[in-house]
Every structure is written in structure tokens, then in C-alpha cells.
Amino acid sequence: MNAVPTKRNELWRYSDLQAVAAVWPLPAPEHIIVPAGGEFSRAIVQDAADNEVAIQTIDLVIGKDARAVFDILNYGGSFGRIAIRAVLHENAHFRLNTVQLGRARQTLEIVCTIIHAELGATSRQTVRTVLTDKATGTYLGKIQVMKAAQKTDASQSSKALLLSRLATVNTKPELEIHADDVKCAHGATVGELDKNALFYLQTRGLDEAEAKSLLTRAFVMSVIDDVQDSVVRDNMIAHTDMWLDKVAL
Amino acid sequence: MLNIHNLHVAINDTPILKGLTLAINAGEVHAIMGPNGAGKSTLSYALAGRDGYDVTEGSVTYNGHNLLAMKPHERATTGIFLGFQYPVEIPGVSNVNFLRTAMNAMRKRRGEAELSGGEFLKLVKTKSAALGMDYEMLKRPVNVGFSGGEKKRNEMVQMAMINPTLAILDETDSGLDIDALRVVAQGINALRAPDKAILLITHYQRLLDYVVPDYIHVLADGRIVKTGDKSLAHELERDGYAGIAA
Ligand SMILES: Nc1ncnc2c1ncn2[C@@H]1O[C@H](COP(=O)(O)OP(=O)(O)O)[C@@H](O)[C@H]1O
Ligand SMILES: [Mg+2]
């Protein structure tokens, strides 16, 4: 097995490397192949216990005209990392809906590498990260468009909400494009709760914590509303509400 | 009900209100008029407890309690409603969810039973219909994409639902066409009751043709410089603020 990664490795740059070392070597990645024309969906709720290190690695191949959807809630463990590498064949579609909720001294990260290998594939990534206390949240989204992958349509949207001045967010979109007829859009924002909205809610009778909780929930719901499977969606909502009850806003 | 005595309020150390005194009894409707920048919104925010509006001198009591010691949500829970000059947009939170959450939070704190989904729905449908607000609009996020007039109507729906004891309405009439103004006035008049009071903040006398106040005060440079009955509004309309404040 190879050596424990260091800060110099881009894909591990913001990780809790002490935590990584403790569980190294990692098990082999999970391999998923979605055959041509196939449909695949996976819901991941990463809710490991507070002191656990939870690292999941997925290697995905999406065949011609096939679709794969990942709905992820990453919020457990002292270090919680979900890394996905996906290769998209002709007209394949990849969708990632992710919510990260970090508190205390947690480090949470989503590392997603999408390789558009052939003509006409599409990828959509939406990541919403909420951080409080001294938590760290990272989203590394790399998109590689190969020479043959004309008409690629790739988008990434990352928004982070900081509920504490001591929390840290890292967002890094990375594009490596070898074809000329492609659409790649990415947007990243980091913000705090809107003070005007907080005051408005308080004048209507919500205390500060209730007002913050309502606005934070709304921020996260913008992703969860997009989750197609209602069982998965309700489960993500239930976990989010548990988290909101647990953190001191 | 509300007793404001020698109130001084500063924003970022700049004095805005400079010794404002005003007493409002149950059953009364007071109007505060004044030029832009006089401090009208500052008064409304200070009464609602907004951060950054520092009371440097004076006192405010509400039914005998020190209002200034209360947090914004406590002021709301005790019966004070602020209608915003610029109602805030809240993406991702529907009007109905917002209203129900707010009303039940206050009911819980007052030791009252929470409204069930059915009770709430019935009430909100009645109140919004009376104010000409399409119920479908209330399923949308709070004030997002609402026109200026719709936002003000929405404030009135919230007020009707919350049924406050003291309503402070900051330029609820501005930006309304005449039909919307009538509807809003109707909403305000519906709240009038012997055990309630209303403080109307307005820039124009137009609203006061529909909601006739018991007293009119002129606010200029952080103080009330003149108090009169409803005829003062027409005087102001004719002579402007400059003559009065001088
Ligand atoms: N956030 C602020 N920071 C500094 N000055 C402010 C702020 N808000 C209002 N002011 C000033 O306070 C004064 C009164 O404003 P405001 O209460 O909004 O007046 P009105 O509602 O009567 O038009 C104005 O001179 C305005 O420029
Ligand atoms: Mg104003």
C-alpha cells in the first residue's frame, strides 16, 4: 500500500492528516459500474460517532446513456470524507446533491473528480456546507474534460454558510479542459446568515436560536428539495433537524 | 400602554433620536409624521429592539414593564408588532411555514395551546382573503418576488394573524396604489379596539384619510416638535414640514 498522504497532495490538502494516518492504509475503493443505458442512485448519510474517522472512496464508471445520482449528507465523525471519482462515457449523466453539516472541531470533506471521457456527457454538482464552532468543511471539485468529450456540459455550485467566525471553509473548483466545445460553469459563495432576515424573524416572535435554525434549515433545504426519492429526502431532513437541535445556535 | 420618555437613540455613536417623549393609551391611534431622515424608522426599530440602535438615555415602558430590557422576540410575544417599511425577503422559507412557526413559538412561550395545522390553515385563508392576498402566494418564500404593494399587504396578513396589542406600522402606506391603500387601511381599522393601540408612521396624510388617528405628532430632527388632532395632517399637507419644525 502507498504512503500516508501529505499536505502536498492536492486531494488531501485540507484533510485531518492525523486522523487519516490513524486509519491508513484505507480499504480499496468501492467500484461501481453503471452499464450503458442504466440508472443508478445512491444515498449516503455519513453519521459516524463523534470520535470516529469515516472515509469512503468510490470509483464510478457511468456507461453510455447511463445516469448516476448521489444524494449525500456528510455530518458524522471527527473526520468525515467522501471521495468520488467518476468517469463519464458518451451522453452519460452524473448528479451530486450534497449537504455537509459541521460542528465542534470536525473536519468534513467532499472530494469529487469527474472525468468527461466521451461526447455529450453532463454533470451537475450542488454542495451546501454549514459550519459552526471550529469546524472545517471542504469541497474539492475537479472536472477533467478529455479531447473526445465535445459537447460536455458540467456545472458545480458550492455555497457555504458560516455560523461561527472560527469555522473554516475550503472550496476549490478545478477545471482541466482538453476539448473546445464545452460548457463548464462553477460558482462558489461563502456567507453568513442575513442579519435583516434574523431581525425580521425575531420581530415575529422567534428567539435568536429559532430564527437561526429556520434560516439554516432553508439554506440546506435548497439541496434536499432536489432529492428525488422521498424516503431519502425525508431521512435527510430528519438528520438535518437532529443536527439543528444538537448545535447551539 | 406605551410610555416613551426622553428617548435618545444613537446609531454608530451618531445621535438620531434626541429626547423623544410620547405616551400612547389603550384604544388610541397615533400618527407620527415627519420629513425623510427625521428618525421615524429609527424609532420603530428602537421600539422593536434592533441591534445597533443604542438607547443612550431615556426610558420606554410597555404596560408597566421596561421594554428596553426585553429581547426582540420577547417584545413580539408580549404583543408588539412592527410593520416594516421595507419587509425582508427570506428565500427558502414559505410564508405559511414562517407564520405558523412564529405564531406557535409565541403561543408556547405564553403558555397557550399551539395551533393545529387545520386551525392555522382556516385562519390564514380567512385573513388573507379579507386582505386580498391570494393564498397561493403565501405558499411561496417570504416576500421573495413580491411587488412593493404585495409586501405591504403581506405585512397586514401577518398582523391580522398575530393579532398584536400594539402595532407600530412604519410607512405601511408608501408605494401603494389607491386600491391597495384602501385594503391596508381596512386591515389597520380591523385591529382598532379599546384594548389595543396603533402607532402609524407615515410620510403622507393620504393614509390618515382612511385610518383617522386620535393624535398626530410631527417628528423632526429626533424630537416630537408638534402634536395635534387629525386636522394637523391637512395643515402639514398645505404648509409642509419646514414651517412646523421651524
Ligand atoms: N444604519 C445607519 N447608520 C447610520 N445612520 C443611519 C442608519 N440608519 C439611519 N441612519 C440615519 O438616521 C437618520 C434617521 O433615519 P430614519 O430613522 O430612517 O429616518 P426616517 O424613517 O424618518 O426617514 C437619517 O439621517 C439616516 O441617515
Ligand atoms: Mg423610514
The domains located in chain B, with CATH, are 2-245 (3.40.50.300)
A-facing residues of B in 38-77 (CB < 8 A) are 48-51, 71-73, 75-77
Distance from C-alpha of B12 to C-alpha of B31, rounded to nearest angstrom = 27
Whether the Cβ atoms of residue A54 and residue A26 lie closer than 8 Å to each other: no
Looking at per-residue confidence, does B132 or A120 come out higher?
A: A120
DSSP-derived 3-state class of residue A215:
helix
Mean pLDDT of A199-215: 97
Say whether pLDDT at A131 is over 90: yes
For range B193-199, the mean pLDDT: 97
Please compute the mean of the pLDDT values over residues B192-202 and round it to a whole number: 96
Give the pairing of strands A122-131 and A153-162: parallel
Instruction: Give the pLDDT of residue B233.
Output: 83
- Probe residue for ligand 1, chosen from B16, B18, B82, B86 as the CB with the greatest number of ligand atoms within 8 Å: B16
CA B85 vs CA A137, A167, B42, B78, B162: distances in Å: 38, 35, 11, 22, 18
Strands B29-33 and B215-220, bridge-based pairing: parallel
User: Is it the case that residue B14 has pLDDT exceeding 80?
Assistant: yes
The 10 Å Cβ neighbour count of residue B159 is 24
Q: What pLDDT is recorded for position B11?
A: 97
pLDDT at residue number B245 = 56
pLDDT at A1 over 70: no
Residue linked to cell 476549490: A172
Scan residues 1-40 of A and list those with Cβ closer than 8 Å to B: none
What residue spans define the domains of chain A? 10-192
Does A198 lie at the interface with B, CB-CB under 8 angstroms?
no
- pTM for the model: 0.93
If pLDDT is split at 50, 70 and 90, which confidence band does A249 have? confident
- Name the average pLDDT for chain B: 94
Q: State the nearest Cα–Cα gap between A188 and chain B, in angstroms.
A: 18
Q: What angle do CA B102, B105, B111 make, to 5 degrees?
A: 140
Among partner residues A197, A205, A218, which is closest to B76 by beta-carbon distance?
A: A205
Helix (H) or strand (E) holding B69: none
Predicted local distance difference test score (pLDDT) of residue B230: 87
Q: How far is C-alpha B32 from the geometric centre of its chain's CA atoms?
A: 11
Q: CA distances (Å), B40 to each of B67, B85, B170, B202, in order?
A: 18, 10, 8, 8
Contact A214 B158 (CB under 8 A): no
pLDDT at A188 over 60: yes
Tens-digit pLDDT profile for residues A6-46: 999 999 999 999 999 999 999 999 999 999 999 999 999 99
pLDDT exceeds cutoff 60 at A220: yes
Rounded Cα distance between B198 and B176, Å, is 20
Cα-to-centroid distance, B39 and ligand 2 (Å): 7
**Atom 9 of ligand 1, residue of closest alpha carbon:** B42
Which H/E stretch holds residue A200? helix A195-203
Residue A229 to residue A67: CA distance in whole angstroms: 15
Strands (DSSP E) along A105-165, which ranges?
Answer: 107-116, 122-131, 136-145, 153-162
B246 has pLDDT over 60: no
Contact status of A209 with chain B (Cβ, < 8 Å): no
Average pLDDT, chain A: 96
Name the strands in the sheet holding A30-34, side by side, starting at the edge strand that comes first in the sequence. Answer: A30-34, A53-62, A79-88, A107-116, A136-145, A168-177
**Contact criterion met (CB below 8 Å) for B53 and B42:** yes
- What lies within 8 Å, CB to CB, of B64 at 6+ separation is none
Give contacts of A 213-232 with B, CB under 8 A.
214-215, 218-219, 221-222
**Cβ of residue B91 closer than 8 Å to a chain A Cβ:** yes
In this structure, which amino acid lies at residue A196?
Answer: N
CA distance to partner chain B, nearest, from residue A234 (Å): 17
pLDDT of residue B152: 92
Residues 6+ apart with CB under 8 A from B68: B49, B55, B59, B60
